[in-house]
Amino acid sequence: SQLNAIIGDLKGVEIVDGASLIWQLRMIKSPAEVSKIKKAVDIAGAVYAQVPDFVKIGDTERRILREFRGRLNMGGASAIPTLICRSDVGGPFEITGGPRDRPIADGDLLFIDTGTTFDGYFCDYDRNYQVGKATDALRYAQEKVWEAHELGLQAATAGGTAGFVFERMAKALSSGGADLNSNGRMGHGLGLRLTEPPSIRLEDNTVLQPGMVLCIEPALEYEPGKIVLHEETVLVTEGKAQLLTFRAPKQLAQIR
């Protein structure tokens, strides 16, 4: 390639990967960058709040996604690179992939997740909705994940590590039947890309610093093929992490 040819002509010069240096700079967001992320968060949040009003039992995932996308655009989204809508009885097994023509029905958990942008900067968070009546097992899992999330949000403080945030949530979830390492990762950085460093996983020792924006997302497969996942976005500050999203309720919002 041309790049290799150029490198070959540079006699006595060592070429090194500068990505780590760039990411050290990009992980810390300026107030202007945080403002754009917050705007994207608020655009999505307004539509999430409307879901119980425009979604009803019998609507298909495809129809729900189409309506959600339209409302994001009307709300001022610059682009919508990622939008997921999945449902199943007690919780979806797959939380990726395109929408289906499957109608939502009583007993389903509806999962919606979006990576919407404003002026190039992403939001990334989801919301869950109970369709009709929830089982006792789902209600327990919902509370378990919500409580683990609280611990993760509290742990996201300057001077701590990404791995510590993971550990606090994983230990709480393990008492609900999850293996400590089964999730692999429970969050990431956010900015001009949907997924940026650091990675909220046990092995990531990145020290959290004021100005980092993190997506924190604990998940629990509480029964085979049934997943509950929560995601919030926070700004690391000198003190307690600042929520950029509106905190999801401990009790699931309901669709009738």
Mean pLDDT for back-to-back runs of 10 residues, the chain (256 residues): 81 84 93 99 99 98 99 99 97 91 98 98 98 95 97 98 97 71 84 98 97 98 94 97 97 95
May I ask the CATH class of domain 25-255?
A: alpha beta
Q: Supply the pLDDT for residue 185.
A: 94
Cβ contacts of 83-88, under 8 Å, gap ≥ 24: 83/112, 83/113, 83/114, 83/115, 83/116, 84/111, 84/112, 84/113, 84/114, 84/126, 85/61, 85/110, 85/111, 85/112, 86/61, 86/110, 86/111, 87/61, 87/111, 87/131, 88/225, 88/226
Whether the model clears a pTM of 0.85, i.e. scores above it, the answer is: yes
Q: At what angle do helices 136-155 and 162-174 cross, to 10 degrees?
A: 160
Q: Supply the pLDDT for residue 182.
A: 57
Please provide the DSSP assignment of the chain as one string. -HHHHHHHH-TT------HHHHHHHHTSPPHHHHHHHHHHHHHHHHHHHHHHHH--TT-BHHHHHHHHHHHHHHTT-SEEEEEEEEEEETS-S--SS---SPBP-TTEEEEEEEEEEETTEE--EEEEEEESPPPHHHHHHHHHHHHHHHHHHHH--TTSBHHHHHHHHHHHHHTTT--TTTTS--EEE-SSSSSEEEE-STT--PBP-TT-EEEE--EEEEETTEEEE--EEEE--SSSPEESSPPPPSSPEEE-
Cα 256 to its chain centre, rounded Å, is 26
Where along the chain do its domains lie?
Answer: 25-255
